[in-house]
C-alpha cells in the first residue's frame, strides 16, 4: 500500500484526494494545510473550481493532519508527497520532500523558471526517488487518443498540428499576472499545450511568437514551433476581454493517413460549442472514435493512476517525467522571449 501525504487542500488538492480514493493500492494517509485550518477539520465547503465537484464536509477520520509541511515530511509512514500548492512553492517543497526520502508528484507547472525545474530534476536523481509532474492534459480522452495513435503509428507519420487554448480574463485569480507567483497565461494555461507538443513532436530548434504583453507576462500570443526537418506546428493561447467565452481548447493534428479534429468552447448562458474528436481519413471516411466518459475527473484518474504505477514499479511515467515538464517550461520561457524581442528565438 502506497501512503500519500497531500500538501495544500485547495481545489486541486481536493481533486487529488477524491481521485486517490478510486485507485487500488494507494491511501491518503496525511494532509497538510497551513492557511485554512477549517479544512484540516474536514470543512471543504468553500473550495470551488471550474469543473468537477464542489467542496463539502469531508470525513477525514484516520488521516493525519499537519499544519506545517516539514512536520508532514518527517512522517515515516508516507511514501509519496503530493504537492498541490501555488507554483512559486513547487521547487523548494519538492526538493525538501525528495531530500526527506519521499517520492513526489507535483502539480503543473513544475516551476516558474527552468533553473528551478532543473534543480528539482537533479534532486530526484540524487535522491533516487521519482518525480512526477501533474501535466494531466494527455490523459483527457481526446488528447490521449491522439497520443496513443501517434505512439502506435496507426495513421502513419506525425506531420504537424495546430493547438489553441483561450480563456476570458480570470478576474477571480489575484496573482494570475504575477511572474513570480503564477506566471500568467503562458505558465498557467499554455503550459498544457507546450507539454503536449513536446510529448508528441519532440523539442523544436526555435520558436517564433507574436503577441501582447500585460506587465511582465505575455497576455495573448501565437507561436510557430520550428523543427528540423520542418513541421507545421502552431499554437495560440491567452486571455480575451469577453467574459462570455470563459474557456476554449482544441486542435487539428495531421498524420500521413488522417487528420484529427477537436474543438470545445464554453459559452455563457447558451449551449457550449463542441466538435467531438473526429478522424478524417485519407480514404474519405469521417469517424468519431468512442472515447468513454467526458468527465474531466477521469483524466485525473488516469494521471494519478500512472503516478501510483510508477511508484509501484520504480519506472517513471513517460508522460509525467520531470525532464519533460522542465522542457515545457523552457518552451514557455523562449516564447515569452520571442514576443519581447520580436524575432525567432533558439531553444
pLDDT tens digits, the chain, 347 residues: what are they?
999 999 999 999 999 999 999 999 999 999 999 999 999 999 999 998 767 788 999 999 999 999 999 999 999 999 999 999 999 999 999 999 999 999 999 999 999 999 999 999 999 999 999 999 999 999 999 999 999 999 999 999 999 999 999 999 998 888 999 999 999 999 999 999 999 999 999 999 999 999 999 999 999 999 999 999 999 999 999 999 899 888 999 999 999 999 999 999 988 888 888 999 999 999 999 999 999 777 778 899 999 999 999 999 999 999 999 999 999 999 999 999 999 999 999 99
pLDDT value of residue 172: 80
Q: How many Å apart are CA 290 and CA 277, to the nearest integer?
A: 9
Q: For the domain that residue 93 is a member of, what is the CATH number? A: 3.40.50.720
C-alpha cell belonging to residue 94: 519538492
Indicate if 241 and 221 belong to the same structural domain.
Answer: yes
Q: Which residue has the cell 493547438?
A: 163
Work out the burial of residue 21: count CB atoms within 10 Å of its CB; fewer than 13 is exposed, 13-18 middle, 19 or more buried. exposed
Contact (CB, 8 A) for 335 and 191: no
Helix (H, G, I), strand (E, B) or coil at 127: helix
Q: Which residue has the cell 477524491?
A: 18
**Interval 213-226: pLDDT, tens:** 999 999 999 999 99
Q: How many Å apart are CA 327 and CA 198, to the nearest integer?
A: 7
Indicate if 214 and 162 belong to the same structural domain.
Answer: yes
Contact (CB, 8 A) for 197 and 126: no
For residue 115, the enclosing domain spans 2-136
pLDDT value of residue 291: 92
Indicate if 219 and 335 belong to the same structural domain.
Answer: yes
Indicate if 174 and 266 belong to the same structural domain.
Answer: yes
pLDDT value of residue 260: 98
Q: Which residue has the cell 500521413?
A: 256
Query: DSSP character for 57?
Result: B
pLDDT value of residue 51: 72
Return all residues near 27 (Cβ < 8 A) that are at least 6 apart. 1, 2, 3, 4, 20
In terms of DSSP H, where are the helices of 41-140? 69-73, 90-99, 114-127
Strands of the 247-255 sheet, one edge to the other? 286-287, 273-281, 258-266, 247-255, 158-168, 232-240, 217-226, 206-214, 345-346
Backbone angles phi, psi at 173, to 5 degrees: -105, 105
Classify residue 98: in a domain, yes or no.
yes
Contact (CB, 8 A) for 163 and 142: no
Classify residue 75: in a domain, yes or no.
yes
Q: How many Å apart are CA 94 and CA 131, to the nearest integer?
A: 8
> Of 101, 136, 171, at which residue does a domain stop?
136
In terms of DSSP H, where are the helices of 202-321? 297-313
Contact (CB, 8 A) for 324 and 331: no
pLDDT value of residue 293: 78
Classify residue 319: in a domain, yes or no.
no
pLDDT value of residue 283: 95
pLDDT value of residue 162: 98
pLDDT value of residue 123: 98
Indicate if 276 and 142 belong to the same structural domain.
Answer: yes
Amino acid at each position: 500500500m502506497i501512503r500519500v501525504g497531500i500538501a495544500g487542500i485547495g481545489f486541486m488538492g481536493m481533486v487529488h484526494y477524491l481521485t486517490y480514493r478510486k485507485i487500488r493500492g494507494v491511501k491518503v494517509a496525511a494532509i497538510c494545510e497551513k492557511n485554512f485550518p477549517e479544512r484540516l477539520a474536514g470543512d471543504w465547503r468553500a473550495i470551488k473550481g471550474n469543473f468537477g465537484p464542489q467542496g463539502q464536509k469531508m470525513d477525514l477520520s484516520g488521516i493525519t493532519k499537519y499544519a506545517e509541511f516539514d512536520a508532514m515530511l518527517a512522517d515515516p509512514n508516507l511514501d509519496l508527497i503530493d504537492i498541490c500548492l501555488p507554483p512559486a512553492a513547487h521547487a523548494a517543497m519538492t526538493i525538501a520532500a525528495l531530500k526527506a526520502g519521499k517520492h513526489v508528484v507535483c502539480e503543473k507547472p513544475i516551476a516558474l523558471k527552468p533553473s528551478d525545474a532543473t534543480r528539482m530534476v537533479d534532486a530526484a536523481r540524487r535522491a533516487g526517488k521519482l518525480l512526477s509532474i501533474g501535466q494531466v492534459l494527455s490523459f483527457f480522452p481526446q488528447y490521449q487518443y491522439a497520443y496513443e495513435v501517434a505512439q502506435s503509428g496507426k495513421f502513419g507519420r506525425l506531420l504537424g498540428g495546430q493547438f489553441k487554448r483561450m480563456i476570458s480574463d480570470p478576474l477571480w485569480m489575484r496573482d494570475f499576472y504575477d511572474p513570480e507567483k503564477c506566471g500568467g497565461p503562458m505558465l498557467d494555461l499554455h503550459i498544457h499545450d507546450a507539454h503536449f507538443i513536446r510529448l508528441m513532436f519532440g523539442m523544436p530548434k526555435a520558436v517564433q511568437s507574436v503577441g501582447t504583453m500585460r506587465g511582465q507576462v505575455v497576455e495573448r500570443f501565437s507561436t510557430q514551433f520550428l523543427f528540423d526537418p520542418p513541421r507545421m506546428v502552431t499554437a495560440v493561447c491567452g486571455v480575451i476581454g469577453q467574459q462570455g467565452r470563459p474557456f476554449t481548447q482544441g486542435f487539428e493534428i495531421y498524420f500521413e493517413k488522417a487528420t484529427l479534429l477537436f474543438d470545445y468552447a464554453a459559452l455563457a448562458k447558451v449551449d457550449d460549442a463542441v466538435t467531438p474528436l473526429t478522424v478524417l481519413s485519407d480514404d474519405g471516411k469521417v469517424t468519431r472514435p468512442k472515447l468513454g466518459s467526458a468527465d474531466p475527473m477521469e483524466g485525473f484518474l488516469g494521471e494519478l493512476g500512472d503516478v501510483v504505477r510508477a511508484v509501484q514499479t520504480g519506472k517513471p511515467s513517460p508522460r509525467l517525467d520531470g525532464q519533460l515538464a522542465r522542457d515545457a517550461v523552457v518552451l514557455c520561457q523562449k516564447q515569452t522571449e520571442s514576443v519581447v524581442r520580436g524575432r525567432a528565438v533558439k531553444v
